[in-house]
Chains A and B, each alone.
Chain A
Amino acid sequence: MIGVIAFYLFSFLLLVSAFFVISARNPVYSVLFLILAFFNAAGLFVLLGAEFVAMILVIVYVGAVAVLFLFVVMMLDINFSDLRKGAMQFVPFGLALGGLLLAELVVLYSAWPEIPAQTAIDPAVAVDNTRALGAVLYTDYVFPFQVSGLILLVAMIGAIVLTHRTRSGVLRQKVAEQVSRQQSEAMTIQKVSSGAGVDHV
């Protein structure tokens, strides 16, 4: 019973927050509702028994990606009401695109092959899904897995290369130089004769 209540709660909140993501006037609210939507999706994953995927969803999307969204939305000085002014002229285009996707979904659903009856998994051999995912990812799919990792790395380095500028006149702290400085280079002891001042030193 709890499971059913939880399912309807999570899916209801997911749909409501997804609706507010696109309808909220304030872009910061949109991002906050997006976070709520991610969170409820993670709850649905937990109900499906995929706790590893749920936690990774929260860590990656909520903990990192959405933070960047929030940063961008808060920092960029964009007047969103100006952007929204001409939005109505794109409605036919949007409707056409949405209709196309819906039609594709319907075709896909009707062409879905019949699933053979599932045999119950023996709990004695059942492994927790972290192990199961790891066993598949690092054996059968190790090449696609590593390649996708490499693509992400390339994207990251590319972003840095594209945005990095070397500016002249910037003072930088060079920690290695500071640490390797010797007492002999940093100071000298001078004997000052009394009454002569320090001018002659």
Chain B
Amino acid sequence: MLELLIGLSENFWLQALAVVATIVVFAVIIMVFVAFVTYAERKVLGAMQRRQGPMTVGPFGLLQPFADAFKLLSKETIIPTQANRPVFFLAPILILSLALVSWSVIPVGAQLVLSNINVGVLFLFAVSSLGVYGVIMAGWASNSKYAFLGGLRSASQMVSYEVSMGLVIVTVILCTGSMNLSEIVLAERTWWMQLLLLPMLVIFLVSILAETNRAPFDLPEGESELSGGFMVEYSAGTFVLFFLGEYMNMVLMGAITTVLFLGGWLPPFGIDTLAFVPGPVWFVLKVCAVLFFFFWTRATFPRYRYDQLMRLGWKVFLPFSMAWVVVVAGALIYMNAVPAQG
């Protein structure tokens, strides 16, 4: 998309302005979407627990996220006296900016992608593996035992589940023969390929719950034992950054699932008659479906114990996904369906 914009003009400054403006618009749209995701979560949880959810600010409580943000921003930012100030402020900024950076390679529509790079999948994986630093730094810089323990837990959890996520991504790359996210969406998948990828989708969905520290894997902030986890010392504006970062990561993981497994901007189930609906609409709807899965599990399952979480990651998901990589590769060779050399 950026190449198109640069082609509009010869002037360097005009090109730069167009690029920066597009990125800002993209970021603002995502921010507003994330704000409404927090609202949607409270409404969905409310409906599942037979209560109303937010309903006083604006029609149907629609302005609630903005009211919350305004309230938090108008509060006093408290910094613990023993905290390491630079790292303490760097951590939430890092988390939020990493969650935003990943969006640069997500194809929202057929040509709607900021940067259509060849190693898009690896880029996403690299950036999401950096997210762990925000958490460790927050835990360490707070200089508090609860925050530190929460940070350590979260770090080991994220590192563990990244391994099986990587293997899941490998199976998708095997079936599509490309690391470019747009090509992954467009690649033809036969019915048996989709059947083989189905268990991988299940593993991926559970792994992204663990990766984003969401219920039932929200041990880093298990309030009964660690009070608030790694962000216990954060208040007001810095807390808003953490909060936004967490939800933006959820939306991002939903988008990655959509691109890898749910067919991106294409109409669902390959129904061509639905192609008159614009691609981005389908994309957003699919992301919303994954987000609903996030909320649903949060309302349904109790929190895991820490050793159970580690066991699931290392002793169940890792061997299974490793074996499945071999199975998928074997099936591709047997069916003579190895993707053609580019």
Contact = CB atoms under 8 A, between A and B. Distances in A.
Interface of A: 1, 28, 32, 35, 51-52, 55-56, 58-59, 62-64, 67, 70-71, 74-75, 127-128, 130-131, 173, 175
Contacts of B342: 127-128, 131
A24 B311 CA distance: 38
| Chain B binding surface, main DSSP class | helix
Contacts of B136: 67, 70-71, 74
A64 B133 CA distance: 11
A59 B125 contact: yes
Interface stretch (B116-124, B242-250, B329-337): B116-124
Interface centre among A35, A52, A55, A175 (most CB of B within 10 A): A55
5 contacts: A28-B87, A28-B140, A55-B125, A62-B129, A128-B118
For the complex of A and B, the 7 pairs showing the least CB-CB separation, nearest first, are A63-B129, A55-B122, A58-B126, A59-B126, A51-B119, A128-B118, A55-B126
B121 to A, nearest CB: 9
| Chain A binding surface, main DSSP class | helix
A74 B140 contact: yes
B294 to A, nearest CB: 23
The size bracket of the interface on B is 20 to 34
B83 to A, nearest CB: 13
A70 B159 CA distance: 13
Contacts of A28: 87, 140
B182 to A, nearest CB: 14
A150 to B, nearest CB: 16
Contact of B123 (A32, A55, A63, A173): A55
B129 A52 contact: no
B122 A52 contact: yes
B118 A67 contact: no
B132 interface: yes
B113 to A, nearest CB: 16
Nearest to B316: A175
A173 B342 CA distance: 49
B126 A63 contact: yes
A56 B208 CA distance: 21
A56 B122 contact: yes
B123 A64 contact: no
Given A52-B122, A62-B130, A63-B159, 13 more contacts: A32-B87, A51-B117, A52-B119, A55-B122, A55-B123, A56-B122, A62-B126, A63-B129, A63-B130, A67-B133, A74-B136, A127-B342, A128-B118
B162 interface: yes
Nearest to B124: A55
Interface centre among A1, A59, A64, A131 (most CB of B within 10 A): A59
Interface centre among B125, B130, B308, B342 (most CB of A within 10 A): B130
Contacts of B87: 28, 32
B290 to A, nearest CB: 23
Contacts of B252: none
Interface string B1-40: 0000000000010000000000000000000000000000
A67 B155 contact: yes
